[in-house]
Structure 1
Amino acid sequence: MSLQPKNVLFLMADEHQAAALSYLGHGVAKTPNLDRLAARGTLFENAYSPSPICVPARAAVATGKYVHQTGYWDNAHAYDGRVKGWGHVLQTAGVPVTSIGKLHYRSEQDSTGFDRQILPIHIAGGVGQVWGSVRNPLPKTRKATGMLGHIGAGTASHNAYDMKVAKKAATWIAEQDQATPWCAFVSFVAPHFPLTVPEEFLNLYPSGDMPLPAVRPGQDYDLHPWVARMNDIENSDEELETDSNRQEAIAAYYALCSFVDAQIGKVLDALDASGQADETLVIYTSDHGENLGLRGRWGKSVLYRESTHIPMILAGPGVADGARVKTAVSLLDIAPTITAAFGLPDDPGWPGHSLSAIAAQPEDADRIVFSEYHAANSPSGGFMVANARWKYHEYVGYAPELFDLAQDPLETRNLVDEPDAAADRDRMRAALHAICNPEAVDGHAKADQDALVARHGGPEKAFNTGPSGATPVPGS
């Protein structure tokens, strides 16, 4: 097998919790196709999103840069090609780049690094969730979003879309000239809400068997005030009302994990049938995780691992089979991974490094990755750094948090004021402040958002502009 791949197949789901892989012995989730990809590749155990919400995370993937470097702050500040990314690098070198499926950029007309976009989803109307930019100050008006949509069996427009994406991607791979290198970004909606899923997948998960969230607000756990403030705007957990309904939502989420796994399996089968699997580097990941009721929150948008921790699998030429890497990595490592696969240089402004190189090196328990949040429902900027063991959160105007993931993987005990953890707190805080100044970034984000809100007629009008739930698929 050649150690240099000829092609790259980049697969992405939306809102896939890192833990929800049967390969990891999850106990509930069933993901046989991702399991077989991990078995012939390397899984990164500590992979993180640079921003736990769709549009900023996807802009960071495209550009290889932090959100605060580019200004793609929220679901109304979408990638428009203004900041060049890995796709542009490949195009300049003559490597054709195709997207199939969800992009969540501003518009198909923007030059975003693809020679061709097939079945793209972009932000609604080229405008997106303008209401999420109303943060200065954050309103206290509750939005009855119905965010999770219809919960249960059915075939939603988003399900039908994902099936079309899988079919189109399989056909596209079969049609490629094996003498010509290619790069394809194949992206799905699931397991993102709405929590509607074909019955054959829901039948795998009897709702009465679903474990309820392990961390819930109450006698043993108090919400951090920054997170509690989100409940003033959106509270899907309260809308669900009963634990039985919560179990139905959890069952539907895991069923969507199996559903998207089946779609990915169709694409991987097509790659195998094409005879190109041995010369194609395959990347699988998600833009962010899913809270799934932990801490009484659904969706994403918080800095805890259920929201920021993501699956990351690399397979193909030169990648060890069945390996697991503890070094912390990020979606920002994907840009240099793709350019390196084609023997092209990194952008010197990229903070990431090739996943192939990271996997080939000794594990680095101290490698720092970074995430930030400036979007819907947040009263101020939230910032996070993590390595293989420690995780530190800083919130502008609110108390920080420090977690020892080895002892407290669910992040329930804040050690920030513990004398025994002071050295680790100071080290992690210094790492965060070496990346950015939180107060300055928060001010920059809010200034940009204030300007957008003004263009949409002011806070009251802007707060009612844009979809409350998932971005509609084309033709729905």
Structure 2
Amino acid sequence: MVKMFTHPITVFVLGTALWLVSVAAAAENSSAETPATKQPNIVFIFADDMSYNTIASLGNSEIETPNLDRLARRGTTFTHAYNMGSWSGAVCVASRTMLNSGRYIWNANAIYKTSEHERNAGRWWSELLKSAGYRTYMTGKWHCTASAEKAFDVARDIRPGMPKDSAAGYSRPAADGTDPWSPSDPKRGGYWQGGTHWSEVVANHAEDFLRDAAAQADPFFMYLAFNAPHDPRQSPQSYVDRYPSESIAVPANFLPLYPYADAIGCGKRLRDERLAPFPRSKHAVQVHRGEYYALITHMDEQIGRILKAVEASGKADNTWIFFTADHGLAVGQHGLFGKQNMYDHSLRVPFIAVGPGVKANAKIEQPIYLQDVMPTTLELAATEKPEYVEFHSLLPMLNGADSENAAIYGCYLDLQRSIRTEKYKLIVYPKAKVVRLYDVQADPDEKHDLAGDASMQATVDRLFAQLQGLQKSMNDELVLER
């Protein structure tokens, strides 16, 4: 059982006289007040395209992530955190709209398709915390249609969905080994547009804000959104050199081609999938995975700078830190390179929580959605969760309660649906008229499709019906038929 804090609700009175009285009372009692009794500061660190299995201390022996390793040792890792999927090829848009609106995917899509300022004005995550007395700050990738400048008190260097790419970064390396791309050449632009690598800019701005916050009394909410490790996967040469392609393992679930790629929207027309040649070669996968790891390691160093700045602010004892990503990425697994699929490498992300009273070096294996972080922070801020917020606070789970999610729902356009329980995952391809079944406990790499096994038909039928039930609860209008 993890012992948590209860934070008193602060009532903000608009009347000037009453406000002055409350300030005087606070000053009189300040000597008796400890940081743990105040609303906590919240630092949210967000990666892009980062799969759950890309942190050294969480099981990846190839990658170097010393700062994320330390963060995991300081707090509790939710090992099975998921994104629901997407209504478009830009999975990050769906993930971030769910995150900032608090709504499940198809309800978030309804907001996205209409005027967000009319439908969700004042209801974004940052605005709810602002109403609770927080000074709100963001830098980096936003990729929501709402205005970051309006949603946050301070917003710096708001980035688009990805750094500018170039033709040289696609369909590489060639079969003969030639490769026109350099992941470390600033002349390629991309992450170096503006002169400083974008991951370093995020850390620079975070340090600036934390130096200022050290002298401020109000609690703060920081939304620090890296574009890394999204392609084009560029990092300084010293990081690239740590991951020579020949030293990178080929994933156990490597395939030259995914058999249903075209039918599920993951064929040659999808931008993400064109990064490497068809059919996939083991060498190409090694090259891309090495560059993926290099960019993550470079981002990890910037995260280390942010964590040091939190300590230097003098506010670390009353600060919660959350680290996660908007979704995962295949990078050569199952013959796929993108995130537009229902496999764990693309739906599942790292999720670490650190804060006062949180158990150190602990893991919770029950499933969550990454967007559960939003109502978690509302509870920390001692502000009521609005009725339209559908995700769940994680504080009960940190206290030993069970997950609110008996099964995890997944979707992509009208081409893919999935349900994942503790033991099984069922994937449905409606237009291809294909179902796939995996025993994710015995087969975590999802290599062996059991859907054709006569002895598994009752399991397929049960999961299919359960998936249909989840669809209804999600307002998913796609009709699934066997």
TM interval, shorter chain, is: 0.7 to 0.9
> Once the two structures are superposed, what CA deviation does each residue of 1:139-159 show, in whole Å capped at 9, x if it has no partner?
xxxx99828894533345425
Aligned to 1:194: 232
Distance (whole Å) between structure 1 residues aligned to residue 338 and residue 258 of structure 2: 19
Verify: 1:212 aligned to 2:250, yes or no. yes
CA distance in 2, matches of 1:47, 1:147: 31
The superposition leaves residues 47-103 of structure 1 with CA deviations (integer Å, 9 ceiling, x where unpaired) of 1112262111111111111221122699x9997684333223222323222111111
Name 2:46's counterpart in structure 1: 12
The answer (yes or no) to whether the contact 1:91–1:97 under 8 Å persists in 2 is yes
Q: Secondary structure at the match of 1:294?
A: coil
The aligned residue for residue 287 of structure 2 is 248
Candidates 388, 391, 394, aligned match of 1:352: 391
Match of 1:101 in 2: 140
* CA deviation vs aligned residue, 1:365-422 (integer Å, no higher than 9, x gap): 9722323222xxxxx3322222333222233323222222101111122233545444
Counterparts of 1:384 and 1:296, CA distance in 2 = 19
Q: CA 1:17 to 1:336, structure 2 compared with 1: closer, same or farther past 3 Å?
A: same
2:82 aligned residue? 48
How big is the shift at 1:299? Answer: 2.4
Match of 2:267 in 1: 231
Q: 2:198 and 2:352 mapped to 1: Cα distance?
A: 24
**Of the candidates 151, 166, 174, which is equivalent to residue 203 of structure 2?**
166
1:293 has 2:326 as partner: no
Paired residue type of 1:296: G
Cross-structure match for 2:12: none
CA–CA distance in structure 2, aligned partners of residues 105 and 349 of structure 1: 18
Q: In structure 1, what is the Cα distance between the partners aligned to 2:412 and 2:280?
A: 28
Structure 1 range deviating more: 345-354 or 22-31: 345-354
Q: Partners in 2 of 1:47 and 1:30 — Cα distance? A: 21
2:378: which partner in 1? Answer: 339
Relative to structure 1, the CA distance from residue 428 to residue 249 in structure 2 (aligned partners, 3 Å threshold; closer, same or farther) is same
Task: Report the CA distance between 1:439 and its aligned residue.
Answer: 12
- Which deviates the most, 365-374 or 351-360? 365-374
Asked if structure 2 preserves the Cα contact closer than 8 Å seen for 1:217 and 1:223, the reply is: no
Distance 1:12 1:249 in 2: 22
CA contact (8 A) 2:264 2:429 kept: no
* Aligned partner letter, 2:127: H
Alpha-carbon deviations, 1:218-257, whole Å to 9, x = none? 6xx8623566652241443326975434322211111011
For 2:309, the equivalent position in structure 1 comes to 270
Which aligned pairs between 1:426-465 and structure 2 lie closer than 5 A? 426-437=461-472, 441=476
Against the structure 1 CA distance between its residues 15 and 282, is the aligned structure 2 distance closer, same or farther, given a 3 Å change threshold?
Answer: same
**Equivalent residues of 1:150, 1:194 under 8 A apart:** no
Distance 1:222 1:365 in 2: 33
- In structure 2, how many angstroms separate the alpha carbons of the residues matched to 1:372 and 1:426? 19
Q: Distance in 2 between matches of 1:320 and 1:51?
A: 30
Shift of 1:423: 5.0
CA distance in 2, matches of 1:423, 1:85: 43
Tell me, in whole angstroms, the C-alpha distance in 2 between the residues paired with 1:114 and 1:207. Answer: 42
Contact 2:136-2:153 within 8 A present in 1 as well: yes
Residue in 1 that maps onto 2:176: none
Corresponding position of 1:184? 222
Give the alignment's TM-score, normalised by structure 1. 0.79
Tell me the CA shift for residue 426 of structure 1.
4.1
Count of residue pairs the alignment pairs up: 420
Structure 2 CA distance for partners of 1:60 and 1:100, relative to 1, 3 Å: same
Report whether the alignment pairs 1:411 with 2:446: yes
How far 1:110 sits from its partner (Å)? Answer: 7.2
Offset at residue 203 of structure 1 (A) = 1.6
Which stretch has the larger CA shift, 26-35 or 52-61?
Answer: 52-61
Q: Report the AA paired with residue 354 of structure 1.
A: S
For the residue of structure 2 that corresponds to 1:371, the secondary structure is: strand
Q: In 2, Cα distance between the equivalents of 1:352 and 1:426?
A: 28
Q: Does 1:146 align with 2:170?
A: yes
The residue identity in structure 2 corresponding to 1:233 is R
Q: CA deviation at 1:195?
A: 2.0
User: The residue matched to 1:406 in structure 2 has which SS?
Assistant: coil
Partner Cα separation in structure 2 for residue 72 and residue 373 of structure 1: 15
Aligned to 2:408: 369
TM-fit CA distance, 1:173: 1.2
* Residue identity opposite 2:79 in structure 1: E
The structure-2 alpha-carbon separation of the partners of 1:286 and 1:363, relative to structure 1 and needing over 3 Å to count, comes to same
> Take 1:290 and 1:431, find their aligned partners in 2: how far apart are those partners?
26
Matched, 1:311 2:350: yes
Q: Which runs of 5+ in 2 are unaligned?
A: 8-38, 173-179
Cα–Cα, structure 1 residues 71 and 192, in superposed 2: closer, same or farther, change >3 Å?
same
Which deviates the most, 49-58 or 356-365?
Answer: 356-365
- Structure 1 pair 153/227, CA: closer, same or farther in 2 (3 Å)? farther
When the two chains are superposed, the root-mean-square deviation of aligned CA atoms in Å is 3.4
SS at match of 2:156: strand
In 2, Cα distance between equivalents of 1:418 and 1:365: 31
Return the alpha-carbon distance in structure 1 between the equivalents of residues 4 and 268 of structure 2: 55
Contact 1:152–1:248 under 8 Å retained in 2: no
Q: 2: distance between equivalents of 1:427 and 1:19?
A: 29
Most deviating of 340-349 and 427-436 = 427-436
Q: Is structure 2 residue 72 aligned with structure 1 residue 38?
A: yes
User: Based on CA coordinates, which of the two structures has the bigger radius of gyration?
Assistant: 2
Letter in 2 for 1:361: G
Contact 2:46/2:225 (8 A) holds in 1: yes
Task: Find out whether 1:21 has 2:59 as its counterpart.
Answer: no
Q: Residue type matched to 1:381 in 2?
A: L
Change (3 A) 1:300 1:434: same
Note closer, same or farther for the CA distance 1:427–1:308 as it changes in structure 2 (3 Å cut).
same
Which residue of the partner structure matches residue 459 of structure 1?
A: none
Aligned residue type for 1:37: L
Alignment partner for residue 155 of structure 2, among 117, 123, 134? 117
Aligned CA distance change for structure 1 residues 89 and 438 (closer, same or farther; 3 Å): closer
5+ residue gaps, structure 1, are 129-142, 375-379, 445-476
2-structure distance, mates of 1:415, 1:224: 16
Deviation at 1:319, TM superposition (A): 1.1
